[in-house]
Amino acid sequence: MKRTDDGPDGGHTRPDAVSTATVEALGSLSKALETVERARGHLYGFHQLTGTADLELDRSVALLREAGHGSWADRVEAEVLGRNVIPGHWTFQIVEAYNSTYYEPFRDLERHALRALAGGRDHLYEAAMKEARRTAGHPDHTARPS
C-alpha cells in the first residue's frame, strides 16, 4: 500500500495548468544551463591554470638568472610574463565578459521562465522521472528525504 506522503514534495509536483510539453521544454532549458555551468567551471579552470603558469614564470626567470642566462630571463619577462592571453585581455577579463554577456543573462532567463511557466518550480522533469523509475516501498527508493 502506497503511503500518502510517498511522492514528490509540493515544490516538485507539476501544477495542473502546466503541460507535459512545458515541463519537457523547461527541463531542456535547465539542462542547457547546467551545461553552461560546466563550461563556466572550465573557464575558471583556464583562468586559474593560466594565472598559476604566469606566477611560475617568476621562478623560471629567477632560476635562469641564477644559472647565468640573463638574456633568456629578460626574454621570458619581456615576451611572456604578464602577456595578454588574447588581445587586450587577461583571463579575469574573459571570465568577467563571459559572465556578464552570456552566463548571467542565460541564468536570469531560465529563472524567469521557471517562474512564469511553472510557478517557480524547478526540476519538474527530473522529479517526474524519479517518480516513474523508483520502486514504491523500497527503502532506497523513497520519494524525498525523511
Whether 109 is in a domain gets the answer yes
Does residue 78 have a pLDDT over 90? yes
**Cβ distance 121 to 110 under 8 Å?**
no
- Whether residue 7 contacts residue 99, with contact meaning beta carbons closer than 8 Å, is answered with no
In this predicted structure, what is the pLDDT of residue 110?
97
Q: Given this model, what pLDDT does residue 4 score?
A: 55
* Residue 40 covered by a domain: yes
> For residue 87, is pLDDT > 80?
yes
pLDDT tens sequence across 96-116: 999 999 999 999 999 999 999
In a domain, 15, yes or no: no
C-beta separation of 8 from 143 below 8 A: yes
pLDDT at 1: 42
Please enumerate in sequence order all residues whose Cβ is within 8 A of that of 142, keeping only pairs 6 or more positions apart, or say none.
Answer: 6, 134
Q: Which three cell numbers stand for residue 96?
A: 568577467
- The Cα–Cα gap between 141 and 34 comes to 25
Q: What is the pLDDT of residue 5?
A: 63
Inter-helix orientation angle 20-66/124-133, to 10°: 110
Total tally of structural domains belonging to the chain = 1
Tell me how far apart the terminal alpha carbons of the chain are, to the nearest angstrom: 18
Number of helical H runs and strand E runs in the chain: 5, 0
Q: What is residue 16's predicted lDDT score, i.e. its pLDDT?
A: 87
Whether 65 is in a domain gets the answer yes
**Residue 66: inside a domain, yes or no?**
yes
Q: Is residue 68 part of a domain?
A: yes
Residue numbers of the domain that contains 95: 27-129
Report pLDDT digits (tens) over 4-58: 567 778 788 888 899 999 999 999 999 999 999 999 999 999 999 999 999 999 9
pLDDT, residue 2, reads 47
pLDDT in tens, 59-70: 999 999 999 999
Residue 5 domain-assigned (yes or no) = no
| pLDDT value at 86 more than 50 | yes
Residue 146 lies in a domain: no
